[in-house]
A and B are shown apart, each in its own frame.
Chain A
Amino acid sequence: MDEPLHSTADFSAPPVIEGIAHVVAIEGKFAWLEPEQTTSCGSCASASACGSKGIGTMANRLEQRRFRIANDANLAIGERVVFGIHENVLLKGSFTAYAIPLATLLLAGSLAQWQFGSDFITMAAMVVGLVIGLGISRWVAGRLHAKGDLDPLFLRRARPGETCNS
């Protein structure tokens, strides 16, 4: 059995979340990649008994999740590469896509309920709040995209047999 780790071991996660992808196309200075693992629970111990894993592994879903990176490393079609995204990107993305619309929805609903006290007016106000929130999300996402905050990074070529868990 391995030696137990000392209690002062660094438990913090790595700053970059890594994934493995195949190069599926080359377009000028850019390479299109298709991620190998598309569900976060597809490889867990109970994957064979879980109904969730099949949904995310369909071919069309893989195609939808293709992304583009700058081909500075002269990648060729069929190569396996390790890409990464900064750890805080997922948090920023979740906040932008979900928290902003939810906050405006609740704010609009609360104001309507406090002002009018009618369920149907509250419902209409929530829908309006949701639409406004989605508009704000779109603007914030556009800014993040323009700054390049959401772009994945090329890290290295994958070793033979390397998987996300290795």
Chain B
Amino acid sequence: MKEYVLLMFSAALVNNVILGRFLGLCPTMGVTTRLDAAVGMGMATTFVMTISALAGWTVNTLLLVPFGLGYLRTITFILIIASAVQFTEMVVKKISPSLFKLLGIYLPLITTNCAVLGIALLLVEGKLSFISSILFALGSAMGFSLVLVIFAGLRERLAVMDVPRLFAGPPIAFIVVSLLALAFMGFSGMGAS
């Protein structure tokens, strides 16, 4: 049990997908102008990342490894992620057309989110068990969502601050995210005893 908690903690905070691995920077800058958009995107990404990890581990273990098709891994994972997004979109549309109209906006953005592919490939590299893979993907996605929400909150405040004209807009946002990355580096100094 302890190892699962540590795995999730490590994936979410110590090796944060945005601030530690520098993946998924496009949505980080693109959808963090509003807090509600960041929450919507974060939850959609968490769902897709977990489903992709489930499907990716299954395909890799049952098809790619036994048949020596490791060279097809990247393209297979891209297909899996695109299918997971399409599946999610169809399901949300079926569950409630109103919800689809409200949340469908975030789903296509996930297809081009390199964090989802990056995590799927990291899972294979780490040779994790099934349940560990799912928890690692979930922890990474929660870390991703956490940074989106923190950053969106900071940007909402930045929008009404008196920022020097030279730094207004993306420059100050990058400075803020770099300070956030420094803060997250503090987690790497924590040891489990």
- CB neighbours of B52 from chain A (8 A): none
Q: A1, A52, A97: which contacts B112 (Cβ < 8 A)?
A: A52
Q: Are B134 and A40 in contact (CB under 8 A)?
A: no
Q: Verify if A44 is at the interface (C-beta below 8 Å from B).
A: yes
Report B-chain residues with C-beta under 8 Å of the C-beta of A13.
34-36, 156
Interface size on B, residues (CB 8 A): 52
Contact indicator A5/B161 (Cβ below 8 Å): yes
Do the beta carbons of A55 and B130 come within 8 Å of each other?
no
Chain B nearest CB, measured from A59 CB (Å): 14
Among candidates A3, A46, A51, residue contacting B29 with C-beta atoms closer than 8 Å: A46
Hey, which chain B residues are within 8 Å of A44, CB to CB? 29-30, 33
Q: How far is the CA of A149 from the CA of B43 in the complex (A)?
A: 19
Closest to B164 in A: A1
B123 to chain A, nearest CB (A): 13
Give the residue of B39, B50, B138 whose beta carbon is less than 8 angstroms from that of A94: B39
Most buried by A among B36, B46, B91, B99: B99
Contacts of A67 in B (CB 8 A): 98, 101
In the complex, what residues of B have CB within 8 A of residue A17's CB?
Answer: 34, 36
Q: Is B178's CB within 8 Å of the partner chain A?
A: no
Select A51's contact among B112, B130, B131, B161, beta carbons within 8 Å: B112
A99-B96 in contact given A44-B33, A109-B131 (Cβ < 8 Å): no
What 1/0 flags go to A38-51 for Cβ under 8 Å of B?
Answer: 11110011100011
Q: Which residues of chain A are within 8 angstroms of B99 by Cβ–Cβ distance?
A: 93, 96-97, 141, 150
Residues of A within 8 A of B131 (CB): 109-110, 113, 119, 122
Q: How far, in Å, is A154 (CB) from chain B's closest CB?
A: 15
A11-B160, A67-B101, A94-B44 known; A41 and B26 CB under 8 Å?
yes
Q: Is the CB of B96 within 8 A of A142?
A: yes
**B105:A119 contact, CB within 8 angstroms:** no
A residues in contact (CB < 8 Å) with B? 1-5, 9, 11, 13, 17, 38-41, 44-46, 50-52, 55-56, 61, 64-67, 85, 87, 89-91, 93-99, 101-102, 105-106, 109-110, 113, 119, 122-123, 126, 130, 134, 137-138, 141-142, 144-145, 150-151
Contacts A56-B109, A97-B99 known; 20 new A-B pairs at CB < 8 A = A3-B162, A5-B162, A39-B108, A40-B30, A41-B29, A44-B30, A46-B26, A55-B112, A56-B108, A64-B100, A67-B101, A93-B40, A94-B40, A96-B95, A98-B44, A122-B131, A123-B54, A123-B130, A138-B96, A151-B98
